[in-house]
Amino acid sequence: MNPKDLLSQLTRLEHTLNDFSYEELTAAEASRLKKSFQAFRIRLENKIFTPSNSYSEADTDLQEEQTADNSKEKDTQPPGVDKLVAKVSHEIRTPLNGIIGFTDLLKEDKLTKKQLERVNAIQTASYTLMEIINELLEYSKLSAGLEQFESVDFNLHSLVDNVMYLCNTLVTDKHIELITTIDDDISKGLVGDPSKLSQILLNLVGNAVKFVERGSIKLSITLKKQIGDQLYLEFTIADTGIGISENNLEHIFDSYKQAEYDTQAKYGGTGLGLSIVKQIIDNLGGDISVSSKLGEGTTFRFMLPFTKGSIENIVKPSTANSITAEALEAVKGMYILVFEDNTINQRLIVQRLNSWNCKSYVTDNALYGLNLLETNQIDLVLMDLKMPNRNGFEVTQLIRNSKIESVRQIPIIAVSADFSYQDRENCKLNKINDFILKPFSPDELLTKLVKNKNSMKKTLKYESQAINPKATVYSDATKINLSLILEDCLGQMDLLEELILLYKQNALEFIGVVKLNLNNEDLDEIAFAAHKIKSGLAMMQSKSLHTIAEQMQKLCKTNGDRKHLNFLYNCFVEEYPLVEKAIDEQIKALKQS
Amino acid sequence: MNKKRLLLAEDDELLASLLNFRLQKGGYEVQLSRDGREVKKHLAEHTPDLIISDIMMPYFSGIELIDYVRKELNLSTPIIIISSAGNEENVLNAFELGANDFISKPVSPSELIVRVERELKKI
């Protein structure tokens, strides 16, 4: 991995961030973004790129390794480099996840077209960076022999469907046809490593999408030979792309050799993708070859052994195709939080949820996710059980122990590539509502969403015993009278509803901002947020919330007691749902009358 | 008769949307500004018939706005200040600098319209 690549990605990200001027974002938003990014960059530079730092030695080794085009050189790299890579990757991933998560939240706001473009640019740059880091991590794990391979039942057809679905979303504005053929005599149920197979296919087909402007990409899977239960499958990916010159073809599976330098500039990437693919295939006992002609296209061909499996071993919903209009209507507008560490899976799942008009948040950070749950209205959680820092059961524990009842009650669907008996027992123990096996087809996911949505508790009930009886805050949610505001709106219901939507957004944003800045100890930000929300609260006659916001503002200005500030924040968090509920009920009543 | 042009400077979306709607229904043309910078920009482009401004705004407070309009631009355009409850000092300050009227939050749109009409009649 070239540190320069990483730095140039960072610089790009920074430029995009700097493009945000104060005129386009509020001062608070812009400075928060810039601050978090700068801190991130400084930390990163100090950790990896400073010559005086102990990491730099290893860094030079990495560079040397990269100039060597012989894979034997890898064996001579000093021990500890992979550990270093793993550590550094983690250092980068965590804050980067924060940036991605924060831009997701930004997109929830009402943004102008220009703002949205820029937020998207930040996200694209962040995702690119994340991919580079993941590849780096994966590569170091593979070369250190640390990667674990699975042997589980999976459905080849739905796996291929998934991969092609995702690749189709990558095609966007190009004129490319994706064609898949699978030999009829290949049994649907196989035993092997489905996530590794997905990764290989995504990499090869995804690569083809990058290099093909028009024409087709064909994936064909044939049964090469069968010995007893052992199936040898040949996968062929043929594209009509720009092709690769003979010279470059020789080194195509070497690490860091992405054809020519300018191709890298044009198409990006670390150049690790193909060497990762080769390493995985080698590890699985297969082999890969490539043939190509400049201007005509490229064909990758690889062979992998699998064991014949039984389709019955795969947990599947009974109905073959459950993507019905009713199901789509049922999940429309659901807010879903996805805990998932693999960026490819993240994108896959988000694309799919978006296509069903669900709103999704993605993270692999337990605390960030918990914070999202406690400050946003989220209907359901999809939980990958195998995440690097905390596993899904641990994250579930955190959720089930939340101080907010609706969060404790939220339906959680576990996602995993294999469910052992022990896993299923653990799911029950941890009050995980349901589980789904990876890779899953769209209709499996949809069925699970619909099923678990129905088990959802509709009423938001927050505990009130946490409120300190000495406090001057009391609930007056029931005193809200929307008919007066409706009068101000000259009886126009849609205007009133629009105002209420704004009101809710502001309140949720306020809760999020305060929580963030309580952690950062940034009292100015809290004071500003409290001031900002006050007039809306006054307008909607939310006296108790208004009082809380006012006290918070005063407290921040006098650099007051943090405990008291925390207490006020909790009061707001507990009072707000009551107010929201009262508002919703009134709206319903007003609509009926 | 030409529509009277109002400049409404209010950073709270909720209140701004409601007031904007009511003022437009009331037959006024409304130029909405979310903060001090926008106010300055709009004032450079057009001189409104009346200005309604919140006291607390990002970059440029309502107080500064009055000072800017009266001293820098040398305009006698009527200015109505929207103040938060409990900010009496600010209101006094605003009147000293040349504000014509004020209204407290929570703002009643109907009351604001009456105050706007009254100020415009004085011209």
pLDDT digits (tens, 9 = 90+) for A248-284: 787 788 765 444 444 443 444 456 778 888 888 988 8
Task: For residues A212 and A174, give the distance between their C-alpha atoms in angstroms, rounded to a whole number.
Answer: 8
Determine which of A40-49, A170-179, A444-453 has the lowest per-residue pLDDT on average.
A40-49
Query: Which chain A residue has the Cα nearest residue B112?
Result: A488
Q: Which of A150, A44, A164 is nearest to A92 (CA)?
A: A44
The nearest alpha carbon in chain B to A536 belongs to B14
CA atoms within 13 A on the CB side of A389: 17
Put simply, the answer to whether B11 touches A536 (Cβ < 8 Å) is: no
| CA neighbor of A339 nearest in space, from A361, A359, A363 | A363
A490/B22 touch (CB, cutoff 8 Å), yes or no: yes
In the numeric block, the tokens 């208004």 are attached to: A546
A237 vs A207: CA distance, rounded Å: 10
Q: What is the mean pLDDT of residues A58-81?
A: 42
CA A449-A454-A460 angle, 5° bins: 110
Q: How confident is the model at residue A51 (pLDDT cuts 50, 70, 90)?
A: very low
> Which tokens belong to A234?
């040949």
- What per-residue confidence (pLDDT) applies to A65? 39
Residue A30 CA, chain-centre distance (Å), reads 23
Residue with tokens 């995993």: A416
Residues 6+ apart with CB under 8 A from A444: A158, A316, A317, A436
By CA distance, what is B15's nearest residue in A?
A: A536
Q: Residue A402 above 90 pLDDT? A: no
CA distances to A211, A297, A514, A558 from A274, rounded to whole Å, are 14, 17, 45, 59
Exposed / middle / buried, residue A112 (Cβ in 10 Å: 0-12, 13-18, 19+): exposed
- In angstroms, what CA-CA distances link A369 with A364, A458, A521, B16? 8, 21, 20, 33
Lowest mean pLDDT among A70-79, A233-242, B23-32: A70-79
> Which residues of chain B does A541 touch, with a Cβ-Cβ cutoff of 8 Å?
106
User: Could you say which residues from 24 to 53 on chain A have a Cβ atom under 8 Å away from some Cβ of chain B?
Assistant: 26-27
* A488, A495, A534: residue with CB nearest B84: A534
User: What pTM was estimated for this model as a whole?
Assistant: 0.40
**What pLDDT, on the 0 to 100 scale, is given for residue A327?**
82
- Could you give the C-alpha distances from B71 to A45, A210, B13, B68, in angstroms and in order? 50, 61, 29, 5
Q: How far is CA A304 from CA A142, A163, A190, A193, A299, in A?
A: 18, 17, 12, 11, 17
Span between the terminal Cα atoms of chain B, in Å? 16
Nearest to B17 among A22, A499, A540 (CB): A499
Q: Which chain B residue lies closest to A504 (C-alpha atoms)?
A: B14
pLDDT tens-digit profile of A459-478?
Answer: 333 332 233 333 333 455 65
H/E segment holding residue A575: helix A562-592
Q: Are the Cβ atoms of B107 and A534 closer than 8 angstroms?
A: no
- Token pair 């508002």 is found at A583
> Angle A493-520/B13-25 helices, nearest 10 degrees?
160
Identify which of A345, A323, A544, A264 has the alpha carbon closest to the alpha carbon of residue A443: A323
Task: Report CA Rg, chain A.
Answer: 27
Cβ of residue B24 closer than 8 Å to a chain A Cβ: no
- Among B37, B54, B105, the residue with its CB nearest the CB of A23 is B37
Give the span between the Cα atoms of B22 and A562, in whole angstroms.
41
pLDDT at A238 (0 to 100): 94
Cβ separation A495–B18 shorter than 8 A: yes
A289 touches A233 (CB < 8 A): no
- The one-letter code for the residue type at A137 is L
Distance from CA of residue A50 to its chain's centroid? 31
* pLDDT tens digits, one per residue of A33-46: 666 666 666 656 55
Q: Which residues pair with A356 in a beta bridge?
A: none
pLDDT of residue A354: 83
Pull the structure tokens for residue B17.
Answer: 């949307």
Strands B5-9 and A152-155: unpaired
Q: Which of residues 261-300 of A touch B (CB under 8 A)?
A: none
Q: What is the pLDDT of residues A314-371, one digit of tens each?
A: 554 434 455 677 888 888 889 999 998 776 677 778 877 888 888 888 887 777 788 8
In angstroms, the separation between the Cα of residue B98 and the nearest Cα of chain A is 24
* CB of A531 less than 8 A from some CB of B: yes
**Ramachandran class of A120: left when φ > 0, alpha when ψ lies in -120 to 50, beta otherwise:** alpha
Query: Which residues of chain A are within 8 Å of residue B12 when distances are taken between CB atoms?
Result: 532, 535-536, 539
Cβ-based contacts of B58 with chain A (< 8 Å): 26-27
Better-predicted residue by pLDDT, B76 or A561:
B76
List residues bridging with B33 in a β-sheet: B9
CA A542/CA A506 separation, integer angstroms: 13
User: pLDDT value at position A319?
Assistant: 41
